[in-house]
Structure 1
């Protein structure tokens, strides 16, 4: 009985000690990048082509041209994350299998001119997702 209480007490102490209130960064300083718009897809044979419009205004502190981050999921599993540079407006994914479920998330991504080693040099827009 004593031994059981001892183990329970140790577990409670470990549980309470591991819970800390961390500061969560909700946003990065500076003007956010707007998300991509007008995202569409087309399927041809074994390829899926995504198209979108880039944000019309890019914050001044973002290095141009911006990049685009594309996250791909197939049947609920991560199938890769791709960064496409030079302000792309399309991406082609293959091989496409019509018997599977696909989910693509596209985000605008830009480098920020900063010399502060404690600040990220990367700013990413909210994602636009399409699933089929």
Structure 2
């Protein structure tokens, strides 16, 4: 009985070890975009004006001008949000004006750089997003 258990355990260990292919797991080297700089929000009632600066260290492998992706999330609770609005602005703008749907609620407004790589690889997406910078809208 011990011999059967040992053989079974050995087969399981070998099977688990054989399933790991490290080359597939390794991260692909690729392009990345920096985050926007100096993101600020100005509130005037239900109107929100977002302003930011586009970094100068955008890789040469990204098509210029980059676009800006904006996402607005309504905060429903400590761990719950819902998407209210999102858009992509072309030609590298540095400001955006938005009217919140309900003035008495809290919203997170996230701004990201969005670009396309110049060289397309059919195995990888050519769409590149930066990490987002987020500001909070709260009713005054």
Q: TM-score, normalised by structure 2?
A: 0.70
What is the aligned partner in structure 2 of residue 119 from structure 1?
124
Decide whether aligned partners of structure 1 residues 84 and 25 sit closer, same or farther in structure 2, where only a CA change above 3 A counts: farther
* Larger Rg computed on CA atoms: 2
CA distance in 1, matches of 2:107, 2:26: 31
Instruction: Kindly state the Cα deviation for residue 25 of structure 1 after the two structures are TM-superposed.
Output: 7.8
What is the aligned partner in structure 2 of residue 57 from structure 1?
57
CA distance in 2, matches of 1:55, 1:25: 29
1:22-41 equivalent positions in 2, closer than 5 A = 29-41=29-41
What is the aligned partner in structure 2 of residue 3 from structure 1?
none
After the TM superposition, which segments of 4 or more aligned residues of structure 1 sit over 6 Å from their partners?
A: none
Question: Structure 1: which 5+ residue stretches go unaligned?
Answer: 1-19
Instruction: Kindly state the Cα deviation for residue 130 of structure 1 after the two structures are TM-superposed.
Output: 0.9
Aligned residues between the structures: 112
CA distance in 2, matches of 1:95, 1:128: 18
79-88 vs 109-118, which moves further = 109-118
Instruction: Kindly state the Cα deviation for residue 68 of structure 1 after the two structures are TM-superposed.
Output: 0.7
Post-superposition Cα deviations, 1:9-68, rounded to whole Å, max 9, x if no partner, equal xxxxxxxxxxx98x6685x63342110010111122431111111112110000000001
Decide whether aligned partners of structure 1 residues 24 and 54 sit closer, same or farther in structure 2, where only a CA change above 3 A counts: farther
Instruction: Kindly state the Cα deviation for residue 115 of structure 1 after the two structures are TM-superposed.
Output: 3.2
1:91-110 equivalent positions in 2, closer than 5 A = 91-95=96-100, 97-110=102-115
109-118 vs 52-61, which moves further = 109-118
Give the RMSD, CA atoms, in angstroms. 2.3
2:87 to 82, 85, 93: 82
